[in-house]
Chain A
Amino acid sequence: MIILTASPYLWALFGIALCIGLSVVGAAWGIFITGSSILGGAVKAPRIKTKNLISIIFCEVVAIYGVIMAIVFSAKLQNIDSKDLYTPSNYFTGYALFWGGITVGFCNLFCGIAVGITGSTAALADAQDPALFVKILVVEIFGSILGLFGLIIGLLQTGRAGEFAAAK
């Protein structure tokens, strides 16, 4: 079977790379959407700039989730010689880390973009009427729980995958 000749390390490391890579893309996308709106709106209403940094922090948190999960996943990596590597337990660890990383990465990507779009409109509404900011922050909180869902499912998927271990 061709699929069994692919090293479990290939699966595991693609998962870890996509976990951190996609999370950071989501955070960056959200930050530039929100940041450009804050800066544009603050030209006529400079008072908005400090309060709306909260939206930028909500986007940044998504990148922190990605970093934490990448570190947790990479704790399972051990250096095993390839003649001892191809055990069922190691295959399972490889697959679990791949799909766990994809889960965390894509959920954080969508969460970051959603929080960014909402933060951008919150800044522009705040520039027109200061009382609106706190109410629109509720929408951002609904958006940011999506990143948390990805984190939970990533942990559940990889929870029972053991470390890479040599065949006995």
Chain B
Amino acid sequence: MADPVDYCPVYSPIFGALGCTSAIVFACFGAAYGTAKSGVGLSVMGVLRPDMIMKSIVPIVMAGIIGIYGLVVSVLISDGLKQKMPLYTGFIQLGAGLSVGLAGLAAGFAIGVVGDAGVRASAQQPRLYVGMILILIFAEVLGLYGLIVGLILNTKSSGTC
């Protein structure tokens, strides 16, 4: 007797494409917040200390890297989107996308606030620069955790109908 449950329904791509979208959209939100907030701090600080501008680009580069984490997982998920795919694959892709996206969102927010405060403070007290970099690395690594979980999930996502 045929199995009554359909393991490859027609609506599986909804969840897969939602995962792909949320990976890049939430990571971009975090990266945009980090870029804008740190950019404001850099511009305000740069009026008084133009020599420190190039050193203070670091938070903005780190926020950009969060965007790249989201891009990587998004490209890998979109490679697995098919018309006839198991619902299992769709759900795994959803989980992978949400994990990297929301982790990137959180990391981007942290990098933005810390970068803003850090560049303004290290313009006034140069010894704080190394401390700012250390705190930014801890914030960046949160996005990396999301990337690792997203990649691990994505490698399990293949399945046949």
* A interface residues with partner B (beta carbon < 8 Å): 1, 3-4, 88-89, 91-92, 95-96, 98-100, 102-103, 106-107, 110-111, 113-114, 117-118, 121-122, 124-125, 128-129, 131-132, 135-136, 138-140, 142-143, 145-146, 149-150, 152-153, 156-157, 160
Contact = CB atoms under 8 A, between A and B. Distances in A.
Interface string B64-88: 1001001100110011011110000
B17 A114 contact: no
Given A125-B43, A131-B50, A146-B67, 4 more contacts: A110-B33, A124-B43, A135-B50, A139-B60
Looking at chain B's contact residues, the main secondary structure is helix
B11 interface: yes
Contacts, number: 155
Interface stretch (B24-32, B122-130, B135-143, B148-156): B24-32
Contacts of A138: 57, 60
B48 to A, nearest CB: 9
12 contacts: A89-B83, A92-B13, A106-B29, A110-B25, A110-B33, A111-B32, A135-B46, A145-B64, A145-B67, A150-B24, A153-B78, A156-B78
A132 to B, nearest CB: 5
Interface of B: 9-11, 13-14, 17-18, 20-21, 24-25, 28-29, 31-33, 35-36, 38-40, 42-44, 46-47, 50, 53-54, 57, 60-61, 63-64, 67, 70-71, 74-75, 78-79, 81-84
B25 A142 contact: no
